Amino acid sequence: MKNWIPTIVGCILVILAISCGNQKAKTTAVQLPEVPQNMLQKNLNAGQDIDLLYPEEKHFKNIRQLTFGGDNAEAYFSFDNSHLVMQVSNPEKNIECDQIYFGKIPQSPEEDFNLKLVSTGLGRTTCSYFMPGDQRIIYASTHSGGNACPPVPERRQGDAYVWPLYTSFEIYIADLEGNIVQQLTDNDYYDAEATVSPNLDKIVFTSTRNGDLDLYTCDIDGSNVKQVTFDLGYDGGAFFSPDGSKLIFRASRFDDEAEAQKYKDLLARNLVAPSDMELFICNIDGSDLKQITNLGNANWAPFMHPSGEKVIFSSNHQSDVGFPFHLYIINIDGTGLEQITFDKKFDAFPMFSPNGKQLVFSSNRNNGGGRDTNVFIADWVD
């Protein structure tokens, strides 16, 4: 999961399991729940609004709020720049845990941002992304393990904040009507966090199939699975560079055996503590692996600038208490760190549009002091 950091909401053993690609494509018709009414308000923020934009946010212009209420995050552009796919939860609207929705980006103040459910409405979903042609969506779901939201894992005394690694997460591809047309994984391991190369030929995802949380790639049809990362720690939340040649991702690494053992103990319980992560970059075959940040705390949700020379990401490295999370940008050689957003609580999940003109992200801004996390879009100014 490109998961949500603390309650602000907030794409294993030797490869014996059936993995990404050895699955026969199948079509499953699903009965989609009715899309909740009034989940989103009319988009009235066509122009720059001081309530949405902090004075220091010089890289944003024409910021607009697209969602209003609930937890809305991991919003990612279609390859033609016209639509967003995202995960949404909102118990007030009977969306008890994250489901996948997509919608057309409004082009005027009069146009609504209407979302359509594309996951099954069952279980919990995460990490959605458009497939080549923008007519199918890849995402991970636990619905094969049960219709209900999976239980929150037990938090024992001494545990840090942890994320669950549900082994019922499998990776699916659905059409825009919500019909599952292909299942890419089918095993008893955590498989999620899939994203697609801009070259439209590769998928990257995270799996515990080798006993650790590592990155894997496969061809766009699910074949030719290859392990990319091998060091102990959580490698996840990977995206391709604009030219498709590199992977940018977050990872945890350990300075001593005690910290490594804590990680292993949590992993044995299908848990991971995401409080200490840095950014890494490598070629898509795993070669030329380099650490970009060494900031401390949680540095995550990286996405590469259209130039391929910079990375935008979320971080709380300036915080002693966990919050706030701001967006930052940094050169891929680790120089030139610059703060981009200035909300008092949470900004994360940035993605540049494929044409490089806009940035979409999730934020706690303009939520009346509550916990709602909403999706915002802005023109990007270099």
Do the beta carbons of residue 367 and residue 382 sit within 8 Å?
Answer: no
Q: What is each CA distance from 33 to 40, 276, 371, in whole angstroms? A: 17, 38, 25
Structure-block tokens of residue 64? 């607009």
The whole-angstrom distance between residue 208's C-alpha and the CA centroid of its chain comes to 17
Contacts of 146-150 with CB under 8 Å at 24 or more apart are: 146/122, 147/122, 147/123, 148/122, 148/123, 149/96, 149/97, 149/123, 149/124, 150/97, 150/123, 150/124
pLDDT at 159: 64
Per-domain boundaries in the chain? 6-380
pLDDT at 40: 42
pLDDT tens across the length of the chain (382 residues) = 545 444 333 342 222 233 444 443 443 333 444 444 334 444 444 444 447 999 999 999 999 999 999 999 999 999 999 999 999 999 999 999 999 999 999 998 788 999 999 999 999 999 999 999 999 999 999 999 999 999 987 767 666 788 999 999 999 999 999 999 999 999 999 999 999 999 999 999 999 999 999 999 999 999 999 999 999 999 999 999 999 999 999 999 999 999 999 999 999 999 999 889 999 999 999 999 999 999 999 999 999 999 999 999 999 999 887 889 999 999 999 999 999 999 999 999 999 999 999 999 999 999 988 999 999 999 999 9
214-219 and 202-207 beta bridge pairing? antiparallel
Provide the edge-to-edge strand list for the sheet that holds 214-219. 191-196, 202-207, 214-219, 226-227
- How far is 246 from 279, CA to CA, in rounded Å? 13
pLDDT at 153: 77
Do the beta carbons of residue 359 and residue 353 sit within 8 Å?
Answer: yes
pLDDT at 276: 94
Q: Point out which residues pair with 214 in neighbouring strands.
A: 207
Residue among 207, 66, 75, 220 nearest 136 (CA) = 220
> Does the domain formed by 6-380 have CATH 3.10.20.30?
no
